[in-house]
Amino acid sequence: MLWRMILERHRRAPGRAALCAAATAAGVGLAGTTAGVLLGAESRVSSALALYGETAAVLPAGGAGAAFRGEEAEAIVAAVAAVAGARAVPALIAEGSVAGRRASLVGTDVPAFLALHPAWELEGSGEPGGAVLGAALAAGAGVAPGGEIRIEVGVIPLSVPVSGVIRTGETADGQALLPAELLAEAVGRPGERSAIAVQAPGGREGLDRVRAAVAASGIPAEVRGIERALAAEGEALAVVRWGLGLLALVVALASLGVVASAAAVSVVEREGEIGLLRALGGKARHVRALVAGDVLPATALGGMAGGALGWIAARGLAARLLGGPVEAPALLVPLGILAGLALGALASVPAARRALAVRPARLLSEE
């Protein structure tokens, strides 16, 4: 009997069901758009920072001239690697000359160091054992990948094959990347490292996790991050988060009001049916089910539509705001259905209370 009453009501009042579905779709759709844009924005900004290169450098305590010993550098690299998504590459920095030109020399795991900078353009293989020169340095020395370069540093001149040339648009165009141990032996500092380049996802929070990991390693060190870029990232995301979040809240409350009003009107129109149901022995749970049945199917359908619209809108809006494609989670659709059901259940509470206040004896005597 209860289900027949619910189905008959939907058949007789399709407009009210459509209104509930549309209101729910609007609220859930905007909430889904907000969630998708924020998730896409955070992912996009993290990817942009990753493209930039290292987000921090770990420097030894003690100021200029200090260095990490081999086991200290290994301990810090292991500590940073324990942070989800973070990578660390030690480097030894020295001054020397390349083909008679003064240059900054970076002794490191060259392939790993290049992997920290995906935006750099590499000509050649960059294979281990060879030098990778910055574009300006290579042009000045008149050398290309496959050639050989003379490097003077310390007391031992080096003749090193050139495995690659990088174009960075940065100061690295004037640097030379060399195998770490080769440079360390040449300058008489075997096993030592001047700094550790770190790339950590997650903006400021990721940088804080790296700082905590380095501190936990017990090695005296300082973590210096690109604070301005990370601060700008946080400020931009905060503006988007608060603006879209406030708009989504307003629309969600409006949607809740529309559905609650529709449920209340339905109860007023069905007081006779509700009184008859109570007179025939219907319990409070049956009345609540009757009221909820008026709105839940419509809000579930609206939530599904809103989740799908939010997924589509999030991709388009985030791409427009961030200047490139982003991936919004497909979970927005099933989450939209759940949100629609939750909205319908919440909106039916006041109407259910009104329905439970109906006195069957009074209504039957009026009949």
pLDDT for position 280: 67
For 126, phi then psi, to 5°, come to 65, 25
Identify residue 317 by its one-letter amino acid code. Answer: L
User: CA 282 to CA 89: how far, in whole Å?
Assistant: 72
For residue 238, the number of C-alpha atoms closer than 13 Å in the C-beta half-sphere is 8
User: Cβ atoms within 10 A of the Cβ of 363, count?
Assistant: 17
As to burial, measured by CB atoms within 10 angstroms (0-12 exposed, 13-18 middle, 19+ buried), residue 62 is exposed
| pLDDT 10s digits, 131-160 | 999 999 999 989 999 999 999 886 678 899
Structure tokens at 247: 């708009």
pLDDT for position 13: 64
Strand-strand pairing, 195-199 and 87-98: antiparallel
Sequence-distant contacts of 113-117: CB under 8 A, at least 24 apart: 113/89, 113/177, 113/197, 114/164, 114/166, 114/177, 115/87, 116/53, 116/54, 116/87, 116/89, 116/197, 116/199, 117/53, 117/54, 117/168, 117/172
User: CA 207 to CA 205: how far, in whole Å?
Assistant: 5
User: CA 117 to CA 196: how far, in whole Å?
Assistant: 14
Strand-strand pairing, 148-153 and 156-167: antiparallel
Identify residue 91 by its one-letter amino acid code. Answer: A
Residue 265: strand, helix, or coil:
helix
Please list the ranges in the chain whose pLDDT falls under 70.
Answer: 1-13, 37-54, 63-65, 154-155, 226-241, 272, 276-282, 318-329, 358-367
Strand-strand pairing, 221-225 and 87-98: unpaired
| pLDDT 10s digits, 278-325 | 666 667 777 788 788 888 888 888 889 988 888 888 777 766 665 555
Residue 101: strand, helix, or coil:
strand
pLDDT for position 158: 86
Break the chain into its structural domains and give their ranges.
Answer: 2-47+233-366, 56-225
